[in-house]
Chains A and B, each alone.
Chain A
C-alpha cells in the first residue's frame, strides 16, 4: 500500500514486572527513511525492535510493520525485516558460507540465487577472503561484518540495525555506512538504526528519535530537533549537543 508507514506503533508498552521498559510509544517511520533511534543504555530501544519483530510480546498497545501485526502474522512480518542483533550469536562450527547458506535456506531462497547473493554480501562487507574460516575463529569485528552480510543476503524491505558499528575498524565502519546509504538510495530500504555513535547517526539518518527511560521524548529531522532546543539559527550545534540537552532535561 502506498503511503503506508513502514513502522507504526500506538501506545506501545512493555513492562517487565514493575519496570516499564517501553512506555506508551507512538512511533511512525515512513518507507525509505533512515531512522536514528537514540537513547541511553536501558532506554528500551532493543525492546521496541523485538516487539516489532514479534519476538517479545507487548504488554499493551499495537505495533504495525507495513500494516501487519507481528503477533498475528509473524512470518509475513519477519520476511520483511533483516535484523542485526546487538549481542549477536553465531554457530561457531560453521564457516561464513555455511552460515549464509543456512540463513538463505531458512528464508526459502533457491540454492542458486542464495549462492550469488551470499557471494555479493560477503564482498560488500569485505569478508570474501575469510569465507571459508570457521566462525569460532572470527574476531569480534569479523562477526559483526558477517551479521551485516546476513541482513544483506535477505534483501529485506526494512533493516533493524542494533548498534551495527560496535567493534568495527574504520574500514568496516565506512563500509557499513556506505552499505546503508546505498541500499536506501538504490532499493528504497527503510532502516531503523540504534546507535550511540552520534556522528554516524548524524551522517546517515534522515530522521531521529530520542528515547529516554522508555519514553520517546523527541522525533524529527536533525533541523527540527535543533530548532526545538536551540531556536532558529543554531546551525553550529551538533547532534551530540542536542542529544545531551534532551537527556539532561528529561533526567533532571
Chain B
C-alpha cells in the first residue's frame, strides 16, 4: 500500500514538472477556452431578445462557435492526452534500468502499473476539472448565467465519463509501453491507434456509397446499421453518444439512428420537457458500461503480460 502511494506520488510530481505535460495542458486549455468563448458569444447572439430557455449553461458544451463543440473536442483529442501521458511509462524505466531497481523493492508488479495509472488519472482529472472551471467562468462572462444544481450534476457526470474515456486511452498507452520495449515503437503504436479509431473508423462509417437501385430509406437504414456495427469498435462513438445525452437534457436518444427515421417524433418530443438526470443516465448506461469494460480489459491484459515479463536491464 505504501509502495503504491510512493510510486503514485513520484509519478504525479514527474508529470506536473514535465514540459510534456505543460505543453499539452496549455494547448488544451487555450483551444477549449477559445472554443467555448466563441460558442458563448454565438449563443448570446442567438438568444438576443428572447426569453432565456433552461439549461443555457450546458449549451456551452454542445454548441459550436468555430469548428466543433467542446464535447467533440474532448472526444477527439482526449485520447491523445491519455496516450501522450502513458506511452513510455513502463518501457522508459525498463530501458534506463530503474524498473529492476523498483521491482527489487518489496512490492508487487501490479503496484507499478497501478501507481502509474492512478497518477495519470489524477493528472487527467485535474486537467479536465480545471478546464470545466474556466468554462464556468466564461459562461458567466459571455452569457451571464450561473449553472443550476441540475446542470452541475450533469457537468459532474460529464467529467466522470470523460475521465473514464481519457483514462481508457491512458490504459492503452501503458499496455503499449509494456508490450514494446522500444519507446519509439510504443509511441508509433499509440499514434497509429489514435488515427485508426479517430479517423479511419468514422470515415469508414460514412464512406459506403449507396447500392444501385437502393431506395433512399434503404440506404439510410443500411448506413445506420453499418455505423452501429462499427461503433462497437469505437470508444469515441460510445463516448459521444453518452455525452450527447448527459449534457443535453432534451435528448431522448443516444444514437442518431432513430432521429432519422422518426424525425418529427423527435422534434415534437424536444418540446415535451427535459429528461431528468437519472433518466438520461439510464439511457446511456450501456455506453458507460462499454467504456468501463474496455478499460478493465486493457488492464487485465497489461497485468498478465507484465507479470510474466523478463525484467533485466542489459
Which residues does A use to contact B, with CB under 8 Å? 46, 50, 53, 55-57, 74-76, 78-79, 81, 83, 85-91, 93, 102-103, 105-108, 150
For the complex, give the distance between the alpha carbons of A57 and B98 in Å.
19
Interface size (B, Cβ < 8 Å)? 29
Report if A55-B100 is in contact (Cβ < 8 Å); known contacts: A50-B312, A89-B93, A108-B2. yes
Complex-state Cα separation, A46 to B311, whole angstroms:
12
- Is B104's CB under 8 angstroms from A83's CB? yes
Known: A81-B104, A89-B101. 6 other contacts (CB 8 A): A50-B100, A50-B311, A55-B100, A85-B313, A105-B3, A107-B105
Whether the pair B308, A106 counts as a contact (CB closer than 8 A) is no
Query: Is B209 on the interface with A (CB-CB < 8 A)?
Result: no
Instruction: Tell me whether A91 and B98 are in contact (CB under 8 A).
Output: yes
Q: Is B102 on the interface with A (CB-CB < 8 A)?
A: yes
- The smallest beta-carbon distance between B93 and chain A, in angstroms, is 7
Q: Which residue of A lies closest to B312 (CB)?
A: A50
Contacts of B101 on A, CB cut-off 8 Å? 83, 85, 88-90, 150
- The distance in angstroms between the C-alpha atoms of A56 and B99, with both chains bound, is 13
Given the interface contacts A56-B310, A57-B308, does A89 sit within 8 Å of B98 by beta carbon?
yes
Interface-central residue, B5, B10, B104, B313, by most chain A CB under 10 Å = B104
User: Given A50-B312, A108-B2, A78–B104 Cβ distance below 8 Å?
Assistant: yes
Are A75 and B2 touching (Cβ within 8 A)? no
B108: A residues at CB distance < 8 A? 74-75
Residues of A within 8 A of B3 (CB): 105-108
Interface majority SS (helix, strand, loop, mixed), chain B: helix
Checking B5, B17, B98, B103 against A105 with a beta-carbon cut-off of 8 angstroms, the contacting residue is B5
Q: Which residues of B contact A107 (CB under 8 A)?
A: 3, 105-106
**Given known A-B contacts A105-B2, A106-B3, A107-B105, A85 and B97 have beta carbons under 8 A apart:** yes
Which chain A residues border B98 with CB–CB below 8 Å? Answer: 89-91
Please give the distance in Å from A158's CB to the nearest CB on chain B.
Answer: 12
Cα A87 to Cα B313 in complex, Å, equals: 7
Which residues from 84 to 115 on chain B have a C-beta closer than 8 Å to any C-beta of chain A? 93, 96-108
B159 at the interface (CB under 8 A from A): no
B285-314 interface (Cβ within 8 A of A): 308, 310-314
From B101, B103, B310, B312, name the one whose CB has the most chain A CB atoms within 10 angstroms: B101
Whether B14 sits at the interface, judged by CB under 8 Å, is yes
Q: Are B97 and A87 in contact (CB under 8 A)?
A: yes
Q: How far is the CB of A106 from chain B (nearest CB, A)?
A: 4
Complex CA distance for A70 and B103, rounded to whole angstroms: 12
9 contacts between A and B (CB under 8 A): A56-B312, A78-B104, A78-B105, A83-B101, A105-B3, A106-B3, A106-B107, A108-B2, A150-B101
B106: chain A residues at CB < 8 Å are 75-76, 78-79, 106-108
Give the shortest distance, in Å, between A144 (CB) and chain B (any CB): 13
- A204 vs chain B, min Cβ distance (A): 22
Query: Does B133 count as interface, using CB distance less than 8 angstroms?
Result: no
Find the residue from A81, A86, A108, A150 having the highest chain B CB count within 10 A: A108
Let me know if B105 and A103 touch, CB within 8 A.
Answer: yes
Is the pair A102, B97 in contact by a Cβ cutoff of 8 Å?
no
